[in-house]
A = this chain, B = another copy of it.
Amino acid sequence: MRERMTIGEFSARTRLSAKALRLYDSLGLLVPAEVDPVTGYRMYDAGQLERGRRIGLLRAVGMPLARIGEVIDLTGPAAAEAIWRYWQHAEVEHAGRRSLARYLEQIFTGGSGRMYEINTRETAESKVLAIRRRVTIAELSGFVADSVARLSGHLAGSAAVEDGPRLSIYHGPVNEDGDGPVEICLPFKGSVEPVDDLTIRLEPAHREAYTTVTKAQFEYPAILQAYHALQAWFSEHGVRSAGPPREVHLVADLGTAEDSDPVADVAWPYAS
């Protein structure tokens, strides 16, 4: 005979609340071994205790229920990799927040915040091959990589050649769960036909302020520091932004860069 228990006992033995258990049931994440069709009473099997406890531990690590649903039935190396990947993401986010927290201490104590050196330059008008989409933070790095590959692939099969560093232009705010239109641009010389959602346009000449960031400073949310430093610089110098901010890619492949390597300029067009 298998050992059966009510939700109350199962709750005590897994340290999950009854409310949480009912939710996991309705989501199909942890379904009682038996539900009385008349009373609706849930009966759990002793063999389900370990699954319940694992769900509780994964929640304590911060994993959302949907993700837990994908992970909970894995075993062996597949399970280890899924958890490791989730955790690496959490580590990167945490490192970004740490960097921002330090920067905030600087700002609030009135430290002149000279952690970012700001320079200015003129850019010339250029033709760009571009793709634009609304993405969330989580999709961003994948979108940039895919887009660069598609755009440079298309250029390679044409009568045009790349001419200048690649750009990510942020037409709206991109943060935790909000999304904004992001445009990836490859400046080129020669001529190229538009195809599918790839467009061709002129990026106008302008004056911009910029600061160079390292790979560690380039991840969200640490990257916000650079934006803030540029905005502060605008205020100090009595100028105003004159277009969406952009990231100017200094390296082709982020994967091979060290945390302390400069990988991009964060640049913002401005006018008096």
Contacts and interface: CB of A to CB of B under 8 A. Distances in A.
Interface of A: 13, 15-17, 49-50, 53-54, 56-58, 60-62, 71, 74-77, 79-80, 83-84, 86-87, 90-91, 94, 97-98, 100-101, 103-105, 107-110, 173, 175-176, 178, 220-221, 224-225, 227-228, 231-232, 235, 241
Contact of A75 (B61, B87, B94, B110): B110
A241 B108 contact: no
Contacts of A62: 97
A108 B90 contact: no
Contacts of A76: 108-110
Given A16-B173, A50-B232, A60-B176, 12 more contacts: A15-B175, A17-B178, A53-B228, A53-B231, A57-B104, A60-B100, A61-B97, A71-B108, A80-B109, A83-B108, A87-B101, A94-B94
Contact of A224 (B56, B221, B227): B56
Q: Is the interface of A mostly helix, strand, loop or mixed?
A: helix
Interface centre among A71, A83, A90 (most CB of B within 10 A): A83
A62 to B, nearest CB: 6
A215 to B, nearest CB: 19
Contact of A79 (B17, B71, B108, B228): B108
Contacts of A225: 57
